[in-house]
Structure 1
């Protein structure tokens, strides 16, 4: 199952809970881009230097745990689950994710992970359009800009206005990048999560899975 959408739309929480409810694996592709971004920053590489960033991506050893109850991210054998959620990584990840060489490396890894799972819920920004266009079903989650900013600022204990500005910046970068931009697949079901609780969203998606796959 492919779950796409912008930051703050509820992808991660909903996808994890849905995968657990379905007895499926869970893949957070965003964590992979964040891990590469962390590696770029640790190496002192300028995120705007596409060639250098792509080389970091090729050299980085990223291992993603797909247990929805406890997803993990390791970079060069070191657990980095907390580090990849820090403000420096968040500020640079869209630029790193826009590098074609990075996307080639990570999309190949993502497809390998998907191929080894009997059932898997995969969340990101280009799952239904690029990574797994054959996925069934495909969902595109969205929410109002205000709702998304409120969720993100609450999660990070950050200033609401600053979070809203950063989300707008990331939306612009993610949707206008040349390679694999954020986009809704033509056959995806769109669900606006504004005003919906997590349990309600999961319930709706479970019903969708049942309708498509049973």
Structure 2
């Protein structure tokens, strides 16, 4: 069993790398950000102000969020596609900034990791969710590269400047949550292929776990 924590800023490729790495290592992928996105969707559906900590905490405390076979469930409803939309993306930082919300989601995020291991990605995976992970990775890329990826992902290559500006905003909003673990290995993915990054981190993980 192996546990890998991958942190880093928005657009650095955390979820993509974590998903491929989990497959390579034969362990589950725990997308911690999906829990915050599902919580944000619940808040928006309840027409609650994402900055109202009491109202947001009440909404999140009433819903059940789970991940099954790579899909995100909100009260049993598959919302994987809904949580990746622009409206959720624009509000998730505000919801995730509330410590009470993070506490509520922590138990769900940790579920199964102790039993099955896993690759956990997020902004505080190594410092909060699995601080005893076998390997902690800080995945990074320059903002232009991250913006290019986001623009291509959105099918908007002509709006590169917009996506770069949005990432600057996200970085500022996420600053209090994005804490790099002291013992994290920094992997800068700028200009690197997915296969190269996954192979690099997989080698690091196997070494950290004693070759298992």
1:209 Cα deviation from its structure 2 partner:
1.2
In structure 2, the gaps of 5 or more residues are none
1:196 to 189, 192, 195: 192
Structure 2 CA distance for aligned equivalents of residues 116 and 36 of structure 1: 25
1:202 Cα deviation from its structure 2 partner:
0.5
- May I ask how many residue pairs the two structures share in their alignment? 205
* Deviation string, structure 1 residues 3-47 (Cα, Å, up to 9, x no partner): 111111111111111100111111100010000000000000001
What residue number does 1:160 align with? 160
Structure 1 CA distance for aligned equivalents of residues 129 and 107 of structure 2: 8
* Deviation string, structure 1 residues 159-181 (Cα, Å, up to 9, x no partner): 211111111111111113xxxx1
* Deviation string, structure 1 residues 168-208 (Cα, Å, up to 9, x no partner): 111111113xxxx1111000000000000000000101110
What residue number does 2:23 align with? 20
Structure 2 CA distance for aligned equivalents of residues 39 and 48 of structure 1: 14
> Is the 2:5–2:120 Cα contact (8 Å) retained in structure 1?
yes
Structure-2-length-normalised TM-score: 0.94
* Deviation string, structure 1 residues 45-75 (Cα, Å, up to 9, x no partner): 001111100111111111112x4xxx10011
In structure 1, the gaps of 5 or more residues are none
Within 5 A, what are the aligned runs for 1:4-153? Answer: 4-65=7-68, 67=69, 71-117=70-116, 119-153=117-151
> Is the 2:65–2:108 Cα contact (8 Å) retained in structure 1?
no
Structure-1-length-normalised TM-score: 0.93
